[in-house]
Amino acid sequence: MPVINVQMLAGRSPEQKNTFMKEVAEVTQRTLGVPEHAVTIILTEVEREHWSVGSRTMAEVQAAAKP
């Protein structure tokens, strides 16, 4: 039973997350030859203030990128 853990920045719509999980499940079923009920996906959203690239949070990185 594949268990797929995904961490992403918070802020995507429920529709985007649902589509993403459906697509990941379908690819997993097709490539590993497992039934749908055997695929588990755990999606964890992380706030930008809690995600760091180097010494800066993603909130800081994105704020600096705005014109």
For residue 2, name the pLDDT band (cuts at 50, 70, 90). Answer: very high
Q: Has this prediction a pTM greater than 0.75?
A: yes
The CATH number fitting domain 3-65, selected from 3.90.76.10, 2.60.120.260, 3.20.20.80, 3.30.429.10: 3.30.429.10
pLDDT digits (tens, 9 = 90+) for 16-65: 999 999 999 999 999 999 999 999 999 999 999 999 999 999 999 989 99
- Judge contact between 24 and 6, C-beta under 8 A: yes
Catalytic hit among 2, 14, 35, 67 = 2
Amino acid at 36: E
Q: Is 2 a catalytic residue?
A: yes
CB 7 within 8 A of CB 44: yes
How many Cβ atoms sit within 10 Å of the Cβ of residue 46?
A: 12
